Structure 1
Amino acid sequence: MGWFDSLLGPDERKFIKRKDSDAGEAGRALEELRSSLYNELRTSEGAKRQQQRFCGPVVAMSFNFMVAVGIILANKLVMGKVGFNFPIFLTFIHYSIAWLLLAFFKALSLLPVSPPSKTTPSSSLFTLGAIMAFASGLANTSLKYNSVGFYQMAKIAVTPTIVLAEFVLFRKTISFKKVLALVVVSAGVSVATVTDLEFNAFGACIAIAWIIPSAINKILWSNLQQQANWTALALMWKTTPITIFFLVALMPWLDPPGLLLFKWDLNNSTAVLISALLGFLLQWSGALALGATSATSHVVLGQFKTCVILVGGYVLLDSDPGFVSLCGAVAALGGMSVYTSLNLKESNESSSKQQNPLPKTKTSENVSEDSTVTNTATNVV
């Protein structure tokens, strides 16, 4: 090195040292960035921030919409052509496959970290897992024993149930304009889809029993993710075993006999497996949508799917649901558009208030009220 240095002048030696110093600083910066990113993913708060960054409301609800359409077709294939008439056991297969996939993700260290146990009582996770079993199992059973019209009527009743339950449990309110938009949505969906109300006593009891668990299930999923730093996959990992346990308990009561006589050939098994994989994606996308928006918005998304399928069939497939049904679907889509625009407006107002906080004045009570309104808008959207 001494001979090499003697060939270079003082300026050249300074230039080389500066380059080595810059390279060292760049390497240290890259290492610090990689370390910070790793630490970000290994904490519940960091994993929650990454989920919010890459899966906002539009992405989450679009993902849920596409998967929901796919699983409708898959379940029609399984329960129709394949003849698998065991709705609770089919739900059990869905959650079992989901748990195996989550275990695989955990083995590869791809599962987000859960928040500390002290932040979320174990009773909350147990309650969510149990309610999820009743909500999913009773939904499939209701669809089996009731007509499509009565099933849709029960789904419409979930919306006011969620609004009432959120007010009772969390004192969460929504604006009068949103209430009007939801009324238009529910009325439009009822006109568009409720063409028959044929049902039997057992099916009606199942449908009525499903409404409350479905509403509470959505509320808890949304609240735990937004208030307790849970990610969708971490919450699924904690609650899925509980859901599987309660589904096993429900099978003897709600599934018909003859499960062991079902023909498990290659075609039938493949159809059930595809339905199960889509079921995992549906649960994941639904959890993402509930974490990014709210329980009410998720129900409105479900009604949006129904109306889009109805109008799309008329436009693309030459189906004829009738003029009255089409008018109801168009009215429902209009109400959904108004509801979504109100959500976006409140979200933008909330973001602007957070970026430009009000200055401290003597009227501290007004400032407190403004912050309360901001938090409420953020929770509802």
Structure 2
Amino acid sequence: MDVFAWFLNVSTSVLIVFVNKLLMDPKMGYKFVFATTLCAFHFLVCGGSVRAMELIGIGKRASMPLYDCLLFAVVASVSIASLNLSLLVNSVGFYQISKLLIIPFVCLVEYIWFKRRFTPYTVLSILVVVAGVAIVTVTDVSMNVLGLVIAALSVVTSGLQQIMCGAIQRKLGLTSNQLLSNTAPVQGLMLLVVGPMVDKAVTGEWIGGYETSVPALTCLFWSCAVAVAVNISQFMCLGRFSAVTFQVLGHTKTVLVLICGWLYLGDVITNRKLTGMVTAVVGMAMYGYFNSLAPAAKPAGGGGGVGAGADGGKASVGGAGGDVSVAVHSAGSVDKST
């Protein structure tokens, strides 16, 4: 189940980047540039799908305390909104650096709060992964006070979202689907309220002025459908693995998005991108090896579901996880870096 959950999450997270690229690209797609509102649609459809599965007997319904549900939904929603705003007020380079800081932040929280210990070799492998992804994604770097505050908020909320997912599942004895069925509708409604305003600030366009068409609505349907698989698999993974492990291995999505873009979309793999990809893969292999040698310990947390997408996609949307800037972080933003 661990292997299946990870494979499903990686494959769907990569797929949704390209579905969202078709939906959101202002030149070659359907110009639906409203990333935060799209995340709201994803969570609402996901919540409805999981509830429907429970009604027909696939999974057991379980409630959770209102406080825990609202806290998780608020943190996850702020994560997505702050990532979008960070991309608006910061350069792409600083935006990418702030996303990479999620890993050190999660490590710090797990070290202080959960008393998790990392061997020097494990820390080294994490640094190698971060360096590889930085080589691929970071370009110009400039910042201002407002951008620094928003970027810091996005790092803290994204990291906390990932840790809270696994912690809440263990605390309340919930399965990944039970947590998702409780939190996804609440998070979707929150994002639906703030999404149009955030999207207006980021794109300068109101969603009410969007010209719909049958092909665009069909693409939106498939985006939401794939997002259901992304969120379910993400919650499955993040109840099984620690937040640090998920962050490190999650960068496989970045590498796969770049490779798929090169194979199918005509993107150019420069020497810099190739060097960064190889470095990141070597770091992930090192992390897997050295982490397997460390004393067994319970995962300290997992990541929240993504709205859509994975890191590195031109039109990726995250939640969280991350990518996705994928997921869109993972990780909640329209990534302009590629």
The whole-number CA distance in structure 1 between the counterparts of 2:165 and 2:225 is: 21
User: Are residue 216 (structure 1) and residue 160 (structure 2) matched?
Assistant: yes
Q: 1:307 aligned to 255, 260, 266, which one?
A: 255
User: Are residue 168 (structure 1) and residue 112 (structure 2) matched?
Assistant: yes
Q: 2:40 aligned to 75, 92, 105, which one?
A: 92
* Structure 1 unaligned blocks of 5 or more: 1-54, 347-372
Residue 78 of structure 1 and its aligned partner are, at CA, apart by 1.6
Counterpart of 2:243 in structure 1 is: 295
The answer to whether the 8 Å contact 2:83/2:154 transfers is: yes
Task: Report SS of the residue matched to 1:171.
Answer: coil
Aligned partner letter, 1:76: K
The whole-number CA distance in structure 2 between the counterparts of 1:201 and 1:302 is: 30
Counterpart of 1:27 in structure 2 is: none
User: Are residue 326 (structure 1) and residue 271 (structure 2) matched?
Assistant: no
User: Are residue 63 (structure 1) and residue 5 (structure 2) matched?
Assistant: no
**Aligned positions of 1:22-171 closer than 5 A:** 55-56=1-2, 58-80=3-25, 81-114=29-62, 121-140=65-84, 142=86, 149-171=93-115
User: Are residue 251 (structure 1) and residue 195 (structure 2) matched?
Assistant: yes
The answer to whether the 8 Å contact 1:184/1:335 transfers is: yes
The whole-number CA distance in structure 2 between the counterparts of 1:244 and 1:312 is: 30
Counterpart of 1:378 in structure 2 is: 298
Residues 1:147 and 1:267: Cα distance change in structure 2 (over 3 Å)? farther
More helix by share: 1
Q: 2:232 aligned to 284, 301, 306, which one?
A: 284
The answer to whether the 8 Å contact 2:48/2:185 transfers is: no
Residue 142 of structure 1 and its aligned partner are, at CA, apart by 4.6
Counterpart of 2:134 in structure 1 is: 190
Residue 298 of structure 1 and its aligned partner are, at CA, apart by 1.3
| Deviation digits for residues 234-264 of structure 1 (CA, Å, limit 9, x no counterpart) | 0011112321232134235412142212112
| Deviation digits for residues 208-231 of structure 1 (CA, Å, limit 9, x no counterpart) | 431111100010112223454321
| Deviation digits for residues 138-187 of structure 1 (CA, Å, limit 9, x no counterpart) | 34555577665444322211100111122333222322221111011111
Counterpart of 2:182 in structure 1 is: 238
Residue 59 of structure 1 and its aligned partner are, at CA, apart by 1.7
Aligned partner letter, 1:60: A
Residues 1:135 and 1:202: Cα distance change in structure 2 (over 3 Å)? same
- Residues 309-318 or 259-268, more deviating: 309-318
Aligned partner letter, 1:176: P
The answer to whether the 8 Å contact 2:133/2:251 transfers is: yes
**Aligned positions of 1:334-349 closer than 5 A:** 334-346=282-294
Residues 1:302 and 1:151: Cα distance change in structure 2 (over 3 Å)? farther
The whole-number CA distance in structure 2 between the counterparts of 1:342 and 1:236 is: 32
The answer to whether the 8 Å contact 2:44/2:189 transfers is: no
The whole-number CA distance in structure 1 between the counterparts of 2:145 and 2:8 is: 36
| Deviation digits for residues 329-370 of structure 1 (CA, Å, limit 9, x no counterpart) | 211110100111223334xxxxxxxxxxxxxxxxxxxxxxxx
Scaled by the length of structure 1, the TM-score of the pair is 0.69
Larger radius of gyration: 1
- Residues 266-275 or 241-250, more deviating: 241-250
Aligned partner letter, 2:102: V
The answer to whether the 8 Å contact 2:252/2:281 transfers is: yes
The answer to whether the 8 Å contact 1:79/1:85 transfers is: yes
The whole-number CA distance in structure 2 between the counterparts of 1:237 and 1:316 is: 35
Task: Report SS of the residue matched to 2:298.
Answer: helix
Q: How large is the RMSD of aligned CA atoms in angstroms? A: 2.8
The answer to whether the 8 Å contact 2:166/2:300 transfers is: no
The whole-number CA distance in structure 1 between the counterparts of 2:217 and 2:265 is: 30
